[in-house]
Copies of this chain bind each other. A is one copy, B any other.
Amino acid sequence: MRISELARVTGVPVATVKYYLRAGLVPPGRATGATQAQYDETHVQRLRLARALVQVGGLTVAAARDVLSAVDTAADGSLHDVLGAAHTGLPPRLEDEGEPARARSLARRLGWQVHPEAPSLAQLEHALRALDEVGAPADDERLGEYADAARRIAELDVSGVPTMSPDEAATTVVIGTVLWEPVLLALRRMAQEAVSAEHFAQP
């Protein structure tokens, strides 16, 4: 298909498609002339994913390109590598703040095999420090319950990754990480309201 058709199918304006092509978020089409190229279903998929990362994930175009290229590179390795590449490329990226000692120790206690340099450990450490700073440090019981819930969700996430095609696996991992995070947060707030209504609402 031509670029106008690619834009029509995905609902992405032609100008944005051209921008994403120039920025390397979407691979070039097959040149069919000096100013024309043909695109196929892989471009449709990639364009949708790129737009979702930018518009829903809130990634900058540069960050989205980094994630996609890290994931493309890792797609030759194991699914575990793809997941690592997605997590490393995705925000939030925190400034180096020293060793995530508490997060590592929690992972050990839970028996979770997490790479000592995984960005998720720094994210947790940062969040725990913020709780200290407001004088409301995380207690082990609540952390443990959160970890249980996170683990159940992660089992579901990982079991849903298709193992046959590395490309599809990569796409699924990126979608699962970026696009399901807002689902989880929205459901948590909805559930908080529902539980609070049951306990506290004045008639």
Indicate the member of A143, A147, A188 with the most B CB atoms within 10 Å: A188
Interface string of A113-152 (1 = CB under 8 A from B): 1110011110110111011011110100011011111111
CB of A61 within 8 A of chain B?
Answer: no
Whether A199 lies near B147 (C-beta < 8 A) is no
Whether A192 lies near B130 (C-beta < 8 A) is no
Copies in the complex: 2
Known: A80-B201, A142-B160, A145-B156. A56 touches B124 (CB 8 A): no
A198 to chain B, nearest CB (A): 7
CB of A78 within 8 A of chain B?
Answer: yes
Which residues of A are in contact with B by a Cβ distance under 8 Å? 11, 45, 48-49, 51-52, 55-56, 77-80, 83-84, 87, 92, 103, 107, 110-115, 118-121, 123-124, 126-128, 130-131, 133-136, 138, 142-143, 145-158, 160, 163, 171-172, 175-177, 179-202
